[in-house]
């Protein structure tokens, strides 16, 4: 089958990959995520990236396969840190979403109101919903107003927070804070702790920049991390997605992967989705 496969230098190439054996699902769309881009140039030869997938089951239903599954029973799962569960690392989308087919897997059904490309937002939105549970309500600063930052802004606005947003790309910056905020969520490698009021909270949601721990100490800030999602958040995201105001993706055929990657990396596209 056709797929985007990493070569021996970790570069993505459109080519052929072995189709998964057993029951399969046809991929309808797969979103390009920052975590995919991080693996380019580093991933093992033969890797097929892509985990923000919409696929069609043999019975015709459209599903978003669950990306990683925690055991639900270990101490870390019970403490709410499911993404650190031993079982979580095992791949559930085989071989990967930038391909024509994947092995049949558990998934959440996509509402009819959501088209295939937008359906790829269920996975990142699920990660955002889980992160938002760790953010206190009030005045919240979103640091990094790209695609994930906008999902955060949409979710936080909907729940009644006063949302501010900054970005290193001037055109992406939203409403800048007019005073100290109660909390900040870091969706980019920056940590403007000076924007957070004493006693406030900071959620680390991306590979991070160095943090001024002296300020955490003096201002009694609470630092929390959140990475990835759980099956429960995937269900919630699928139900919420039709009600959210989210950016439109750039949709390209898989053959134009290199062009889509360039659009994303250069910041000219907030989100790129490929259709095989
Ligand atoms: Zn992702
Ligand atoms: Zn577990």
**Number of the ligand closest to the Cα of 82:** 2
Contact 31, 51 (CB under 8 A): no
Query: Is residue 140 scored above 90 in pLDDT?
Result: yes
Summarised one tens digit per residue, pLDDT across range 5-14 is: 999 999 999 9
The pLDDT of residue 19 is 94
**Number of the ligand closest to the Cα of 229:** 1
Kindly give, in sequence order, each residue whose CB lies less than 8 Å from that of residue 194, ignoring residues fewer than 6 positions away.
Answer: 215
- Confidence label for 91 from pLDDT (cuts 50, 70 and 90): confident
Ligand 1 centre to CA of 127 (Å) is 8
Ligand 2 centre to CA of 228 (Å) is 14
The pLDDT of residue 209 is 84
Task: Please calculate the CA angle 149-188-43 and round it to the nearest 5 degrees.
Answer: 110
Cα 187 from chain centre: 10
Average pLDDT over residues 78-102: 95
Contact 274, 257 (CB under 8 A): yes
Query: What order do you get walking across the sheet with 222-225 strand by strand?
Result: 162-166, 139-143, 181-186, 196-204, 222-225
Please give the DSSP secondary-structure letter assigned to residue 145: -
Average pLDDT over residues 68-86: 96
Ligand 1 centre to CA of 35 (Å) is 6
Mean pLDDT of the chain: 96
Ligand 2 centre to CA of 77 (Å) is 4
Ligand 1 centre to CA of 271 (Å) is 11
Summarised one tens digit per residue, pLDDT across range 29-50 is: 999 999 999 999 999 999 999 9
Ligand 2 centre to CA of 82 (Å) is 6
Kind plus residue range of the DSSP H or E element containing 222: strand 222-225
Question: Tokens 């004493």 map to which residue?
Answer: 198
Summarised one tens digit per residue, pLDDT across range 199-226 is: 999 999 998 888 999 999 999 999 999 9
3-state SS string for 8-53: CCCCEEEEECCCCCCCEEEEEEEECCHHHHHHCCCCCCCCCCCCEE
Does the reported pTM lie above 0.75?
yes
**Number of the ligand closest to the Cα of 73:** 2
Report residues near ion ligand 1: CB below 5 Å: 33
Average pLDDT over residues 252-272: 97
């Amino acid at each position: 089958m056709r797929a985007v496969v990493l070569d021996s230098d970790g570069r993505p190439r459109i080519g052929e990959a072995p189709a998964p054996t057993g029951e399969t699902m046809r991929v309808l769309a797969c979103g390009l995520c920052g975590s995919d881009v991080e693996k380019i140039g580093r991933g093992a030869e033969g890797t097929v990236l892509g985990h923000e997938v919409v696929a069609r089951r043999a019975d015709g239903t459209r599903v978003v396969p669950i990306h990683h599954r925690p055991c639900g029973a270990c101490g870390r799962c019970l403490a709410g840190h499911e993404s650190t569960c031993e079982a979580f690392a095992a791949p559930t989308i085989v071989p990967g979403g930038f391909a024509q087919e994947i092995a049949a897997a558990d998934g959440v059904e996509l509402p009819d109101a959501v088209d295939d490309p937008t359906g790829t937002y269920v996975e990142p939105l699920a990660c955002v919903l889980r992160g938002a549970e760790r953010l206190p309500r009030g005045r919240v600063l979103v640091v990094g107003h790209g695609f994930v930052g906008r999902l955060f802004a949409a979710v936080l606005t909907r729940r009644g927070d006063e949302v501010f947003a900054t970005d290193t790309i001037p055109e992406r910056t939203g409403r800048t804070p007019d005073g100290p905020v109660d909390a900040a969520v870091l969706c980019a490698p920056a940590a403007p702790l000076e924007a957070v009021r004493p006693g406030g909270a900071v959620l680390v949601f991306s590979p991070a920049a160095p943090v001024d721990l002296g300020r955490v100490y003096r201002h009694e800030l609470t630092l929390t991390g959140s990475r990835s999602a759980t099956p429960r958040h995937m269900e919630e995201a699928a139900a919420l997605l039709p009600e959210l105001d989210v950016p439109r993706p750039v949709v390209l055929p898989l053959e134009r992967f290199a062009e889509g990657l360039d659009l994303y990396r250069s910041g000219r596209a907030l989100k790129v989705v490929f259709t095989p």
